[in-house]
Amino acid sequence: MNTRYNQFTKSLAIVSVVTIICLLYKSNLELLNIAMLYLLPILYVAINYGQIQTFFISLIVVILFNFLFIPPLFTFNVHDARYLLSFVIIMIVGQLISILAARASKAKELETSESLHEAILNSLSHELRTPLTVIIGATSSILSHELKLTEEEVNELIQETYSSAFSMKELIENLLTSARFESGHLKPIITDCSVGEIISNSLLKVENKYSKEAIFIVHEDLPSIQNDAVLLEQAFYNLLDNAFKYGEKVTIEVNHSQNDLLITICNTGELPDKREIAMIGKKFTRLSNSLNVSGLGLGLFLAKRIIETLNGSIDTKIVDSEFCIYIRL
């Protein structure tokens, strides 16, 4: 409602400017010139705001044109029927342009949507094909009677199979959660939960995945909070996975104030361009520091959506050569 009000206000301002110009140069302008000038705000509204706004702006233009410029002046009487026809034409032109603009916009959206859909499918097929190829290759080697594998080699192949299967599981879970968000079927299940325990569980999984360790700092005993533990763990896992994926050193710090918890996750290493910070958290967006690391660009997007759905906030900054994420719950 507020957006529509702002659009209408902006449209009225443009009509007012045109009216002032026409009044100031009235003696030098013919009625046809004035009519052409009045078409400008109608065209602007028709292209940008839609049929309803265009109808009302066209109506206002017709009223002003008639009242201020059509003889007899300052009345709504029309002495020549041709002017009535011009009023109707102005209204029709506005609506036609509005319809054409809407169709053009829809066509552009459809084209963009199809391109995005194709890009997602291509990326998704690659992300699933890669671990699936590893799984098939590893298991076929293990099952082969021709290869004489040592116990160590078999264990390595089993580990590769597990890692690839786990990557597929992560991708599918993120896609399913994203689909639940889009469909509006994701309903948080609020219970008594420990943020310290949730972060510890997420951290343990990520440390095992990357064979790295992080610095985990908790300044005091953390109280239990009412929240969705499952969704929070998925959000923190994605955030920590992103930090480990691009970071050489990862630090997690938890502070507790009277009203909320502040969790800070910082990593050194490859940093995103400062101009790209605004893109962080957008769906299917990967930044320039992604290098050759695989992914669909869903991790930070889902973490942001989950935290905000659970009435928290999330912010990102580059501080002293570190990329930091601030989560407030």
Q: Which residue has tokens 């325990």? A: 197
3-state percent helix, strand, coil for the chain, nearest multiple of 5: 65, 15, 20
- Residue 297: name the closest of 321, 272, 275 by CA: 272
- Return d(Cα 132, Cα 128) in angstroms, integer: 6
Question: Rounded CA gap, 253 and 258, in Å?
Answer: 17
Q: What residue spans define the domains of the chain? A: 2-108, 119-183, 191-328
pLDDT of residue 286: 59
CB atoms within 10 A of CB 142: 14
Query: Rounded to an integer, what distance in angstroms lies between the CA atom of residue 116 and that of residue 114?
Result: 5
How many CB atoms sit inside 10 A of residue 242's CB? 22
**How many beta carbons lie within 10 A of that of residue 308, not counting itself?**
13
Per-residue pLDDT tens digits for 116-129: 556 556 555 656 67
pLDDT confidence of residue 312: 86
278-321 pLDDT per residue, tens: 656 565 555 554 545 555 567 778 888 888 888 888 888 887 77
Give the list of residues 6+ apart from residue 50 with CB closer than 8 angstroms, or none. 98, 102
Is 0.75 surpassed by the pTM of this model? Answer: no
Q: Looking at residue 291, what is its pLDDT?
A: 45
**What is residue 147's predicted lDDT score, i.e. its pLDDT?**
72
Low pLDDT (below 50) residues in the chain: 289, 291
Please state which CATH number belongs to domain 191-328.
3.30.565.10
